[in-house]
Structure 1
Amino acid sequence: MEPLFIVKKLTVALVAPLSIALIIGIAGLINLIRGRKKSGVFWVCLSLIVVWVSSFNPIANRLLLPLESKYTPYQYQAELAVGYVHVLGGGHMEGARLPGEVQLSSTSLARLVEGLRIANLHPESVLVLSGYAGIGSRNQLSNAEAAKKIALSLGFPEHRIQLFPEAKDTREEARSVAKLVGELSDDASLVVVTSASHLPRAMNIFEQEGLSPIPAPTYFLASEGSGGLYPSADAVNKTQRWLYEQVGLLWVELKALLSE
């Protein structure tokens, strides 16, 4: 495992709303223990504000909606020749108590269902599934293999599936499929399926790798309404997705600058 990849994952974990609130809260408690009452109260109150803001649906929706609105859902076009439908990885878990001994995460399942829908609209296309097992995971299967297992159970033909089980992130997924589609004819297209919030970053990365994919967003989280004025875990998830993508977009821009 590359050290830079591990650092990136740790950084993402630390910028999650609850992680930020916990770090600020601990700083406040340390100040209180050391007798710095005003400073301690300030940091503890700030940690509570971070929790409230990140769990408030109107704010979470306002943050995430612009990312999810950048691309519209995939619409069938009879004249469009699709060579590959690439479903990006999104996590899973395994266990004897689960149906088929594997269960995709809600993110991964939504991506797979949309990928199957698009692949079925284009019978000549190949369904590309990517994603590794995860850091420190007990999973025996990669995410790509887990998604294939579900796809086969739903009746999708095995000969139309291509796997990239070693790809650890979006960059590696893009590089893997770039080699695969290198022989595509000029009129054949690549469709990239991923979460709506992740798609702007994914498109950026795929284009940096010399590809011009057709975007296919799925797993929309943000709503155009307020979504409720009370704190909720769903709102925290939306805020976390927004923060995750901001860090990811910054990382992509940084790598582009360094490569130049």
Structure 2
Amino acid sequence: MDVIFSFKKLVIALISPLSVALIIGLVGWLYLLAGKRTRATVLILCSLVITWAASFNPIGDALMRSHEAQYQAFQYRDDLDVAVIHVLGGGHAESRRFVNGVQMSSSSIARVTEGIRLANLYPDARLVLSGYGGYSGVNKLTNAEAAKIFATSLGMDEDRIDLLTESKDTREEAIDVEDMVQDGRLILVTSASHMPRAMAIFKQEGLHPIAAPTYFLGSDVSERYYPSYEAVQKSQRYFYEKVGLLWIELRAWMNAE
């Protein structure tokens, strides 16, 4: 399973916009070295255009706004009997330089913080944190354990926290949390860009969660009109999630067959 999981991540990385632009550019340089200037020029220009588009903030914002608009931020409802608030894993790093030896990724910080906010709104609900150790297997803490350290440092009662430390991807997170839900409702917390795919997967596994997206990337107003890393992050994330949604549809079609 680990090999398949790593292979899936590698394939996604290779077909991302910047990787495609790099591959096209390298092929263009090979044509240039072979003396085929017309083909080389076309390919190198295509490479530059893709790179520019992927790093142009208005494009990244427009893509993410349309994608993230499918689910709105969660608003409190007093008619909900919430059993589980499930915060999906989002990555972390470890070092002696960090407080408690752990530094959460930006998306993880947003997800866990939103989970704590919801736990305060629904004091009878369990806070479930999921995520395993990482692709390389060198981390001493799973992402779920790191998230628990962060949550308790913000005042969350550790007696209300349950961990799912073996879940390697979103589908496994959905499968692992199913037995915890029982008769109550499940609130699903993840990044806004990831929410459409996460909701589709949870529904495929027979769950009907309430979406609580956080960490919105798409801005309503693009103030920068020059290439930036933030714009690349948005474009890459949009492409990654769209490919993931296509895979879900393909998987559903194959299962139906």
| Distance apart, 1:50 and its partner CA | 0.8
CA deviations over 1:131-156 (Å, ceiling 9, x no partner): 11111153110100000011111121
| Residue type at the aligned position of 1:245 | E
Match of 1:251 among 222, 247, 250: 247
Is 1:15–1:243's contact at 8 Å kept on the other side of the alignment?
no
Corresponding residue number in structure 1 for 2:195: 199
Mapped to 2, the partners of 1:54 and 1:175 lie a distance apart of: 34
CA deviations over 1:171-230 (Å, ceiling 9, x no partner): 00000011222xx22xx2100000001101100000011011000000001012234221
Mapped to 2, the partners of 1:126 and 1:43 lie a distance apart of: 54
Determine whether 1:211 maps to 2:207: yes
What TM-score comes out, normalization by structure 2 length?
0.96
Determine whether 1:240 maps to 2:240: no
Calculate percent identity across the aligned residue pairs.
52
CA deviations over 1:51-100 (Å, ceiling 9, x no partner): 10011111111111111111111111122111100000010000001111
CA deviations over 1:23-71 (Å, ceiling 9, x no partner): 1111111111111111112111111111100111111111111111111
Is 1:64–1:222's contact at 8 Å kept on the other side of the alignment?
yes
Mapped to 2, the partners of 1:229 and 1:153 lie a distance apart of: 39
Mapped to 1, the partners of 2:189 and 2:94 lie a distance apart of: 23
Q: How does 1:153-232 map to 2 (within 5 A)?
A: 153-181=153-181, 184-185=182-183, 188-232=184-228
Q: How does 1:1-260 map to 2 (within 5 A)?
A: 1-181=1-181, 184-185=182-183, 188-260=184-256
What TM-score comes out, normalization by structure 1 length?
0.95
| Residue type at the aligned position of 1:235 | A
Where does structure 1 differ by over 4 angstroms across 4 or more consecutive aligned residues?
none
**Unpaired runs of at least 5, structure 1:** none
Mapped to 2, the partners of 1:15 and 1:99 lie a distance apart of: 36
**Unpaired runs of at least 5, structure 2:** none
SS in structure 2 opposite 1:135? coil
Mapped to 1, the partners of 2:180 and 2:30 lie a distance apart of: 54
Is 1:54–1:239's contact at 8 Å kept on the other side of the alignment?
yes
Distance 1:223 1:170, change over 3 A: same
CA deviations over 1:223-243 (Å, ceiling 9, x no partner): 122342211111111000100
